Structure 1
Amino acid sequence: MNMASKIAKSPVVPSIGALLAEARQAHGYSLDDVAETTGLTVAEVTALENDADFDASRIRRTAAALGVLDKI
């Protein structure tokens, strides 16, 4: 196991995907809502939330839309 995977799976430090999913749910937004707001597809938002997509532009766009850009 490499260092990045140890950090990503740490119970103390939530992943970016977990942060985005929690923020979306806290706002009461659906995946469709976030996709429409950000111009991404539902599949792209899902990939971000599942830490399967690490595209910085999509992460920033989604985090900004959810008001958590300062947390990433």
Structure 2
Amino acid sequence: MNMASKIVKSPVARSVGGLLAEARAARGYSLDDVAETTGLTVAEVTALENDTDFDASRIRRTAAALGVLDKI
């Protein structure tokens, strides 16, 4: 057995954007649905899901709308 096979991998943490995208898909919501619910634009929601927007207020608002605020 080589040394690499003895290394235990830790679970990879999802990105905040990945968590938001997964939650949206799991609920069957479109980007338009989330944008309308949160008051954000589709471009802003997309940027959050792609981890290119790190605005805490937008993240919290979107996470709350998707029911995953406790996971971020």
Q: Distance in 2 between matches of 1:37 and 1:27?
A: 13
Q: For residues 8-65 of structure 1, what are the alpha-carbon distances to aligned partners after superposition, in whole Å with 9 as ceiling and x for unaligned?
A: xxx7100000000000000000000000000000000000000000000000000000
Structure number with bigger Rg: 2
Residue 23 (str. 1) matches residue 20 (str. 2): no
- Between Structure 1 and Structure 2, how many residues are aligned? 62
Unaligned runs of 5+ in 1: 1-10
**TM-score when scaled to structure 1?**
0.85
Q: Distance in 2 between matches of 1:29 and 1:52?
A: 21
Residue 53 (str. 1) matches residue 53 (str. 2): yes
Unaligned runs of 5+ in 2: 1-10
> Once superposed, which parts of structure 1, at least 4 consecutive aligned residues long, lie more than 3 Å away?
none
Q: Percent identity?
A: 89
